[in-house]
Amino acid sequence: MVCIPFPMMRLGVLVFLPSHSTADYVTPVEQQFTVDFNASDKNAVLNVPVGLTPLRSKRPRSDEYLNQEAENAKTLSLRQRVMSPPCFRNPFVNSDVFPERARQGCVSAFGSSSRYREEFHQIKEIGRGDFSYVYKVLKRLDGCLYAVKHSNRRLLNEGDRRKALREVQALSCLGYHENVVRYFSSWFENDFLYIQMELCETNLRDESLAWTFTEKKLTEAMFQLLNALKHLHSHGLAHLDVKPDNIYIRKGVYKIGDFGLACRIDGAISIEDGDSRYLPMELINDDHSHLDKADMFSLGATFYELARRSPLPASGSQYQAIRQGKLALLPGFSLVFQSLIKSLMHPAAKNRPSAAQALKNALFKKSSSKAL
């Protein structure tokens, strides 16, 4: 038996192996070498399939490539379309806003990484300010309605985050009080701050546009809000932005909210001025020695505005007159009511009553005796 060197292609390297009499049943016929014993120019030529010749590119055809790309895009799109969790109806809550599609779950473009989209179904916008939006939402798990406030811009630096967190930290420090908007939870998401709070139907500003307040109604509201301020001040906090817009109503109960400017009464935290229409003169003059009494002035100014049924001035001679204690008479309101308003807005902070002292005013004793 004669052994003839037999070439074999392995990983691009031509290797000669001895050939035996046994036939090659493994290598396809079209890929086998043919050997010319006459040593012609065609000796040791590989019958290469057409598909592997240089004349045929290994790159897929353009139409095949596009089809493959479209298929990949379709698969990626399906992966990104994450189904939001379903909303569960709470049998203890009577609500007609429960969305049918939310019970079944809906496709979320935000993906599963969004806690807001994953835990809440957004119903509508109910308010906005200079720094945030507020939405009425349904919590998917417990089936209850809440308000979620989130910043209207990204909080990228430490200073912005600390400023935004002031409301969260103030509310968590206060704990529960029926006349303070209740705080539930907060979190950062994509550099936006989200705050989950109690949902209220309206605020004093909107209520004043729809109804004319009687003395009895204003007395009831003032009594509740004095209790709220007493609670704040006993915890060493001042609100510094008391006004009709920040006083909310839920089932007839008045609640103070929007603690974005809240600070410590001892002045250990930087102080920012609120709405100028409700600011006492000492804050305008950068006197921060009686921050709790600044809240008392703002509360008095709020009820003075509601009783006189016209907006307070933001500047001018009338603005200065109010801060000098020169208040106009309030037709239809008792002298006891007007006297309390005047004491709350006294030009000298130290002469204003505290919240605890104001609650002992004869106006509230008179109101409670009438209720009996």
Annotated binding site for ATP: 149
Confirm if 245 and 239 have CB atoms less than 8 A apart.
no
State whether the Cα torsion 230-235-240-245 is positive or negative.
negative
Residue 241: active-site member: yes
Alpha-carbon span 370 to 11, nearest angstrom = 103
Cβ-based neighbour number of residue 304 at 10 Å? 20
Q: How far is CA 336 from the centre of its chain?
A: 43
Alpha-carbon span 151 to 166, nearest angstrom = 13
Question: Which of 241, 245, 275, 292 is an active site residue?
Answer: 241
Alpha-carbon span 83 to 2, nearest angstrom = 72
Measure the CA angle with vertex 328, ends 316 and 319; round to 5°: 15
DSSP string, 319-355: HHHHHTT-PPP-TTS-HHHHHHHHHHT-SSGGGSPPH
DSSP-derived 3-state class of residue 236: coil
Alpha-carbon span 305 to 332, nearest angstrom = 14
List, by residue number, the catalytic residues: 241
